[in-house]
Structure 1
Amino acid sequence: MHTMIPRCVWLLAIGSLLQTAIAAQDPVAIDPPRTLILDAQGMAGQYARWQDSGDSVPPAIENLRREADECRTEGPWTVVSKSIVPPSGDKHDYISVGPYWWPDPAKPDGKPYIRRDGEVNPERMEYDNVGLKKTCGNSLTLALAWYYTRNPDDARHAAELLRTWFVRPETAMNPNLNFGQAIPGRTTGRGIGIIDTACLIGAVDAALLLETSPAWTDADARSLRQWFAQYLHWLRHSKHGRDEDRTKNNHATWYDAQVACFALYAGQPDVAREVLRNVAERRIKSQIRDDGSQPHELARTKSWDYSVMNLKAFINLATLADHVDVDLWNHHSDNAGGIRDALDFLIPFALSESDWKHEQITPLDGAKLAELLRRAAIAYQEPKYETLLHRLAPDDQPTDARFQLTHPAIHLQAHP
């Protein structure tokens, strides 16, 4: 049985210490941002420590500045700019095609498409998933840059990305995924297309970070919360949403992560709490074996990638559950494993101490586990995970990695 100090207890304690320690700092550094996945207390402490130290700009900030500079040259994107018209006839409706579906060479028109698991059809790049992913990823990069560097241009461009995709009536996406991951010749949309909007979790934290900037108004925040409330209703009550809820692998995990995140952002904590209380029995018990392996993901042609991807969803769920006083970090069921077991299972393979015996059609990248090791080190107050994190790249310490900003190690230093 794994145990830990209740995370909400030590986060409150650290928050109190940070408030005292940085009282003389710029007021923007005093209050942690109201994020859902990002480590708000750690970010506030890291920002205050850097401001107080007078040291040169840390590598992670330098890297973030470079990324933000590039992001300001891109976008905004909108669903209405595509040349493809969804079956509804409304360009405000999102549309994408399944990534692993290809034209059938035996058919003159290639239809119906056939599946090649793990091999992405480049046709997918012609649809709305590209703009959505860029909107979410770039807005988060820019919002982080605003938080750490206070460059108003970063905040303004991030706000413009979010307004264009979600808020302005003439460019906004309709809050549904009726045509997500269509398969030409087979279906115009599927429930599993909802995995496309997992990136919206990052957009939520971007919007929350922007609430400290004059570039993001109260009206913007209300409009975006309304959009997410509408999308949340669609997720929970549409046929596609109900289909995704009944899946058994990473689709189910990421579905719950989306529902819980969007419910918290839209001011519906009771909905989030209900979903998160059911994660233990509905998702962890059915997806993680007692040895920590994830059988549904091991069946894929990129079994390592999917195992890491699904573990990230579980860690996101545990993080969201902290907001409603539900403990998923330590859950175990009879004859099944938990989140920590799933992480421990993957570590020897990430470090090349054991050979991965399952199908992986692309090279196994152990560094994909780095962020999750940091987040586990903080959640479980386990320095061992921090040590293992640096062993992933012993000659190139990940000082410029994004997680140094989103989940800094300050908590570990406060609780050795």
Structure 2
Amino acid sequence: MLPRRHSFQPYQTNLSRRLHGVSLVLFLLTHLFVIQSAVATNPFTCYANDFVSPDHAVGLYASKFRGAQDTIVAWANEMNSYGPWSVTDKPVVAPSGNKHDYMSWAPYQWPDCSKAGNKTALSPSIMWKTCPYVFRDGQVNPDRTTIDDFQSFFNLSDAILYNSLAFTFQNQSSSVYSQNAVKYIKTWFLDPDTSMNPNLNYAQMNRGPKGQTGEYTGILDLRGFVKIASGILILRQHGSSDWTSDIDSQMIAWCKKYIDWLQTAPTAKQAASAKNNHGTFYVNQLMALKLIVNDTAGAAEFGRGYFGGTFKGQMKSNGDQPMEASRSRPYHYRNFNIAGMITNARLLKYADPTSNDWNTTSNGATIQTAVDFLMATNPSATNEANVTAEIYPNVAAVAATYGDPQGKYVKFLKASGFPYTDDASFLWDQPLAGGIPSPDSTKGSSSSSSLTIPANGTGPWLLSVVLFMLVWRTR
């Protein structure tokens, strides 16, 4: 874990001989938030998407951000127990016969073998080619995970992001975290034995006698390229000796080939013209790739194109999103598209610091309006209580960008019970906590903040300890 300015055990060891009765109680109460911060990390979360500017990775932060940093390191360590990943690991090869081709199955497609004419049970491999497949919106076919390139890529993108961030916390030119991030990139993209071909010809592939080809919806599978771009930009900007010029050149060459496919393949063009979340995330991906190949102007151009085009028709004046609201899981899809909007705004702000597309309107509504609408929406009304947490990163991002003068966003997050100050995204949603702090890897002085960091459930436990110590000292 990260080195800490405040460590409860050393304080307790050094002072317990001198502190008695009420003095010990006051000492423990004073350090309540320190103790809580020292032990809390959030369960792993795979965000729908997010862009982390390399400017947010500048070493150790003030103590209020240590919970987020600990979570990032914990998540990096967790991902490192699974990687590296490769498209060549899947048990079924794409119809091309090339094990380096990415492949996934359309998630909402289900087999209908009622007219297959078989008298015995069909084996999976026969069923995939013989039975027609029908679409059931929002109902994921569980056998999709048989081919797990999509899940492997999600894991890959998260591992690269969190290892790259963890690397910067150590203030070294090389660490196990930067080495891991580079290893994962080389394995998936560059190693001749394990690399992915730069296309998505078989992404979200339809099965059955009329299938066996990818769909435009499959472009969504690689939306995690934004996180990979964040990781690469962090490694570059912070001088990782593990990210060599040769590796950088190879990755740029791979991405240029994939950009060409993404702008010319029929399925990719269909995704580019989509008016719903598929169009939003297509721009996410293309902007991120442009940043990797050092085409900042190109990234900005696509971002401006989105906010001047597709975005304009995605919302009503009240912030609702008709195309996402019509889906079988409207709460999820609204949140999903908002995450894509936020990511596009962040990417564009990085590519063009003069941009202000957070305030661009769609029928009078901004991204903030969309989040406000969803905050007033009950997910249980559409049987989606299980995805309530999807809104929290969006709320935090809006509070960080637009401000929270009335405290409604912080109130919403606190009321949810979500320990947002220990969430990884708290590190790059820093204005939510009162502004971007200066690094404090030595002195560790906290920057001022108008936000009171909640105890996140540690208070009752610590109070019990305090009362026990008081009774023990005064008996």
Displacement after TM superposition at 1:311 (Å): 0.5
Give the one of 165, 174, 191 matched to 1:168. 191
Amino acid at match of 2:366: G
What is the number of residues matched between the two proteins?
367
Structure 1 residue 79 corresponds to structure 2 residue 80: no
1:83-98 matches, cutoff 5 A? 83-98=91-106
User: 1:204-243, aligned counterparts within 5 Å?
Assistant: 204-211=229-236, 212-243=239-270
Q: Which amino acid aligns with 2:357?
A: L
Higher relative contact order (CA 8 A, sep 6+): 2
Aligned amino acid, residue 133 of structure 2: Y
- Per the TM alignment, residue 197 of structure 1 is displaced from its structure 2 partner at its CA by 0.6
- Indicate the structure (1 or 2) with the bigger Cα radius of gyration: 2
The answer to whether residue 160 in structure 2 is matched with residue 132 in structure 1 is no
Alpha-carbon distance, 1:378 to partner: 2.6
Distance in 1 (alpha carbons) for counterparts of 2:203 and 2:334: 23
2:217 and 2:65 map into 1 onto residues whose CA distance is: 43
| Cα gap change, 1:332 to 1:72, in 2 (>3 Å) | closer
TM-score by length of 1: 0.81
Q: Distance in 1 between matches of 2:332 and 2:263?
A: 28
1:111 to 122, 127, 131: 131
**Is this contact kept in 2: 1:97–1:181, CA < 8 A?**
yes
Q: Deviations over 1:359-384 (max 9, x none)?
A: x3432544322222222223223444
| Partner SS, residue 329 of structure 1 | helix
C-alpha offsets along residues 296-350 of structure 1, whole Å, 9 cap, x if unaligned?
10111111111011011111111122122333211125x452222212211223x
Residue 189 (structure 1) aligns with: 214
Counterpart in the other structure of 2:369: 341
Instruction: Give SS of 2:376's match.
Output: helix
> Which is worse superposed, 220-229 or 161-170?
220-229
Say which of 424, 429, 446 aligns to 1:407: 429
Q: Which amino acid aligns with 2:153?
A: L
Match of residue 163, structure 2, among 124, 142, 157: 142
Q: 1:297 to 1:169 in 2, by over 3 A?
A: same
Secondary structure in structure 2 of the residue aligned to 1:409: helix
User: Structure 1 counterpart of 2:164, which letter?
Assistant: A
AA in 2 matched with 1:295: P
| Corresponding residue for residue 371 of structure 1 | 393
TM-score calculated relative to the size of structure 2: 0.71
Structure 2 distance, partners of 1:263, 1:376, is: 25
Aligned-CA RMSD value: 2.5
Deviates more, 1:291-300 or 1:112-121: 112-121
Q: How much does 1:357 deviate?
A: 8.6
The Cα shift of 1:173 comes to 0.5
Query: In structure 2, how many angstroms separate the alpha carbons of the residues matched to 1:62 and 1:332?
Result: 37
Specify the SS of the correspondent of 2:182. Answer: helix
Measure the CA separation in 2 of the matches of 1:120 and 1:364: 15
- Structure 2 Cα separation of the partners of residues 269 and 141 of structure 1: 23
Separation of aligned partners in 2, 1:70 and 1:356: 30
Gap runs ≥5 in structure 1: 1-35, 350-354
**Which is worse superposed, 209-218 or 286-295?**
209-218
User: Paired residue for 1:352?
Assistant: none
1:249 CA drift (Å): 0.7
Spell out structure 1 runs of 4+ moving beyond 4 A.
Answer: none
Runs of 5+ unmatched residues, structure 2: 1-49, 117-126, 437-448, 451-475
Give distance in 2, aligned partners of 1:346 and 1:192: 25
Distance 1:269 1:56 in 2: 33
Q: 2 CA distance for matches of 1:146 and 1:190?
A: 37
Q: Offset of 1:230 from its aligned partner?
A: 1.4
